[in-house]
Structure 1
């Protein structure tokens, strides 16, 4: 076995290596994204200006699965070739790299020969076929399963999450034992520079180690020193925050595991990334890497419909571009944009859904007057650039809004609840026989190039368990979910409708959009990954309504574009009403004092959605609109509705 450079690692020791360095290239394009703020103290001595604190760049790959993935060696070659073109300071593999035996030694040899600095993390599959840590030490040229490594002004702490915890735990061991935990605490306490934590198993979120809560509490105590916690294992692209510490899941280089006869759903191109760390600014930049599904996707085979499906339901063949800035207290995530493949794409389509709060709510007791509300509603739509609007609680405003925008529109009657507005001509607007037009309408949008898009505008009842109960700590998760039965029954009738079934059968040619006010939260927003959140996300809720849409093959475009469930990307759409108001059944929002504060402080949940289906339609960005263009922030009663608007921009593939 030939290894170009064989550093020594110590559980309790330090290893410092001055790397060759020139001015580093900046990563990618400027990231346009949403920001997430959190309160976090940063000690000046760790991040003070110092000319010796240079940018550090790491090449990172996770879950290659050499020996299991059929083309793993080709994927590794692509990663190493790409890293030759970049000035990097170390190579990092985050575990499940390759079986550490003679048959698969070429994986380690290629990796180790590619750079003088390499960081190895042991994954659970390194123990397959009765292989051991000692086999990893021998194959990779390391001396410990957990260790620290200094690269100039950055400290890397590598953890081993493969220790045994509870004797009743099933599957692979997934634990950090007391000895390693004590070592970790001592390392964090002594750290005199920013720290990057590396592990294979997640330390937060679904599939986290068995004692994740203990480790998170430890990290919270030293969060002023931790730039980021980086892991593999989950084969997803996800970022979570727990008490001010960021936990980033790096996607697999090869595939997403679905089990069954299919076993793996492969990515066309290998996924890997580079991290650029600026220790002086406490900034970590993650370069984007995207691919597409090679053959079928997990959704194509109905993976998420299974009872044993992973709770990670935002699964994409990508690593999103991100910036994690500790000094500025923000995280920026670049929306996922699918590779166009061989298709030419040159048209975008913006779709909005908005409940405008019935007759624009002219009651002056707790909102603006009708004329001002209507003007602001039109301003917001015009400013958004929306091409299609699925509107709810339109009640008598349809004609005025359509005339002001010079849009086509369809509504069942002059005073109807629902209305579809479109910049382009509408056809196929026949009523949906057997369904109430108060809750369901449809129309086909005819784009200039001949492409058609079928749009359904829907409203599900607010009866049953009201969404405000999401805050009721005395109500069990099970009882809260049961309160959505009326909405689920409504939706089931819609999903089974002949027109709808016919349209989704032809969605490959004519994409389908379902948008509106669903009056319930989504299972995507209430998972094990959000259970520590203090923003109404702590419940774990298998909501039947959103799961039914997912099972039918639809994508939740907002959550797909904003997978990191952070405060500003929660996408809460109800309510825009601030702390000075109280929701009273039958009365709406009633001021609790004479001059209520017009502040958006306490939103309940995300209940308005834009779902899409069809390969010609790709969601590239989605946002929530909560204020008038003349305002810089969310406010009420200046905003004309109790619901925020949702706006998704799609890319249309040419026919």
Structure 2
């Protein structure tokens, strides 16, 4: 895109048209079997930090409607709960089926309360579970305050009430289980993450099989997966960008853009939106991800080490095949 085109979109009050998303179906899709369970996952949309979140979300919802998936889920850092962001909720609710929310840490920006977040997303519980086609799904909220430590800007902790609920929920379902959470349980994310992993492990031992199969998380804006005691921990990349932070200065956008969106300079921006499509059939989970070019300079071109946090920064969500 020419710099003049980019500036013209800013003058019109929308930067969203600066990125042409390829939303056309490619190839012929295999029809779903009647018992196939399918769902879409998107995470870390960050409506309040980026200029084109509505277009990215609309592309995801349109694609999931076209695929007629059973449900969609967003893994947090969706938007701050305020009237200016009603556009995001309206797009989300245009999905023709069930659409589930996971609460992320950035929903609490601008001093928003849990009650305000739940009201905005029309949630009756901040953690909950549901069943679909022979599988049990658990949604967790890891945004609890750390006991004795009020200095953390974005605390992440499971309090006793949620842990007791989770233990009871897992014990009472006979179904194989998949977990959705914002902060990862396999990496630096949740202060008492080991307590939850031990709970999962004990549940599997008591069941006599690996009942808790997969844990999907966002938060880190990375693309990786780990296996711990037979449980797959899959990190879903952000729909928009890789956060680089203050040491890096991305000058890929015109200088005028940073006046309205100052955090652009600290991002490695994905030119196209990322999301995952999941199908479960015959005890196999098939995750189909997306890949994008970088918008301007990549993190490595900006000086980030090739391996960061033990993982390579990548503008993609990898395809994965998981035996259940």
2:174 maps to: 192
2:218 paired with 1:232: yes
**Structure 2 residue aligned with 1:270, among 255, 268, 273?**
273
Is the partner of 1:57 in helix, strand or coil? strand
2:290 maps to: 289
**Structure 2 residue aligned with 1:242, among 220, 228, 238?**
228
2:165 paired with 1:183: yes
1:120 maps to: 101
Provide the rounded CA distance (Å) in 2 between the counterparts of 1:134 and 1:312. Answer: 36
**Structure 2 residue aligned with 1:80, among 61, 81, 85?**
61
Provide the rounded CA distance (Å) in 2 between the counterparts of 1:249 and 1:195. Answer: 17
2:74 paired with 1:93: yes
Provide the rounded CA distance (Å) in 2 between the counterparts of 1:86 and 1:116. Answer: 12
1:318 maps to: 316
1:590-647 deviations in whole A, cap 9, x for unaligned?
A: xxxxxxxxxxxxxxxxxxxxxxxxxxxxxxxxxxxxxxxxxxxxxxxxxxxxxxxxxx
> Which is helix-richer, 1 or 2?
2
Kept after mapping to 2: 8 A contact 1:227/1:283: no
Provide the rounded CA distance (Å) in 1 between the counterparts of 2:82 and 2:280. Answer: 33
Provide the rounded CA distance (Å) in 2 between the counterparts of 1:296 and 1:167. Answer: 42
1:622-637 matches, cutoff 5 A: none
Kept after mapping to 2: 8 A contact 1:63/1:254: yes
1:156 maps to: 137
Provide the rounded CA distance (Å) in 1 between the counterparts of 2:302 and 2:292. Answer: 19
1:174 maps to: 156
1:479-628 matches, cutoff 5 A: none
Kept after mapping to 1: 8 A contact 2:54/2:91: no
Kept after mapping to 1: 8 A contact 2:280/2:286: yes
Provide the rounded CA distance (Å) in 2 between the counterparts of 1:85 and 1:113. Answer: 12
Are residues 25 and 57 of structure 1, via their aligned partners in 2, closer, same or farther at CA, if it must alter by over 3 Å? farther
1:499-558 deviations in whole A, cap 9, x for unaligned?
A: xxxxxxxxxxxxxxxxxxxxxxxxxxxxxxxxxxxxxxxxxxxxxxxxxxxxxxxxxxxx
What is the CA-CA distance between 1:227 and the residue it aligns to?
2.1
1:105 maps to: 86
What is the CA-CA distance between 1:282 and the residue it aligns to?
2.9
What is the CA-CA distance between 1:71 and the residue it aligns to?
1.1
What's the C-alpha RMSD, in Å, of the aligned pairs?
2.0
Provide the rounded CA distance (Å) in 2 between the counterparts of 1:243 and 1:145. Answer: 27
2:242 maps to: 256
In structure 2, runs of 5+ residues without a counterpart are 1-28, 205-209, 250-264
Is the partner of 1:222 in helix, strand or coil? helix
Is the partner of 2:226 in helix, strand or coil? strand
Provide the rounded CA distance (Å) in 1 between the counterparts of 2:30 and 2:129. Answer: 26
1:128-180 deviations in whole A, cap 9, x for unaligned?
A: 00112222222211111100111231111000010112433633111111110
Is the partner of 2:161 in helix, strand or coil? helix
Kept after mapping to 2: 8 A contact 1:146/1:159: yes
Kept after mapping to 2: 8 A contact 1:236/1:312: no
**Structure 2 residue aligned with 1:63, among 20, 44, 59?**
44
Kept after mapping to 1: 8 A contact 2:40/2:278: yes
Count of paired positions: 273
Kept after mapping to 2: 8 A contact 1:253/1:272: yes
1:38-69 deviations in whole A, cap 9, x for unaligned?
A: xxxxxxxxxxxxx9x92111111010111211
Are residues 312 and 98 of structure 1, via their aligned partners in 2, closer, same or farther at CA, if it must alter by over 3 Å? farther
Provide the rounded CA distance (Å) in 1 between the counterparts of 2:308 and 2:107. Answer: 22
1:204 maps to: 186
What is the CA-CA distance between 1:303 and the residue it aligns to?
2.5
Provide the rounded CA distance (Å) in 1 between the counterparts of 2:274 and 2:31. Answer: 20
